[in-house]
Amino acid sequence: MTPEGKLKDQVKRLLKSRGAWWYMPVQNGMGVVGIPDLIVCHRGIFLGMETKAPVKNPRTPAKLWAKATPNQRNRIREIWGAGGCAAVIESVSAASAMLESVEVDLVERRDPNAMLVAHTLMGVKGLAMPPEIGGWGSREVHG
């Protein structure tokens, strides 16, 4: 199994353990190109997780964002535009941070809001959101 395949299996186990609903779309050329690897609903928030093979030292958000194809980056931006939360991830801890941010947002505010979730995800290693949302675009070169 590839390193990315192992990460996907670990993330699926995490999602199941946290009670999230998830789906992995089959890419067969018939649907929309660039859909994230995992489509997730957790506590009423729509999440998209595009997995990339992990590396020994986590990539900067700009480098991780650049690993996504232009179509994947467009779909992630579209999810944000529709009120969901999506990111490129390279670790189970990044996926866990996404779930935790949703849970914290619900407990503290009782109002799930993807932009508030985004604020709690800034600085998480192994996770990259669009630069205009993640706040790193002004500091690093991005695609």
Number of neighbours of residue 103 by Cβ within 10 angstroms: 16
* Residues 43, 111: Cα–Cα separation, whole Å: 11
Determine the pLDDT at residue 105: 64
User: What is the average pLDDT across 86-114?
Assistant: 79
- Higher pLDDT, residue 97 or 117: 97
| Both tokens assigned to 26 | 């089959």
- pTM given for the model: 0.82
* DSSP string covering 9-52: HHHHHHHHHTT-EEE----SSSS-TT--SEEEEETTEEEEEEE-
Write down the mean pLDDT value for the chain. 83
Domain ranges of the chain: 3-133
4 alpha carbon, distance to own chain's centre:
14
The CATH number fitting domain 3-133, selected from 3.30.830.10, 3.40.190.10, 3.40.1350.10, 1.10.630.10: 3.40.1350.10
Determine the pLDDT at residue 109: 56
Kindly indicate the confidence band of residue 143, based on its pLDDT and cuts at 50, 70 and 90.
very low
Helices then strands, each counted (H, E), the chain? 6, 5
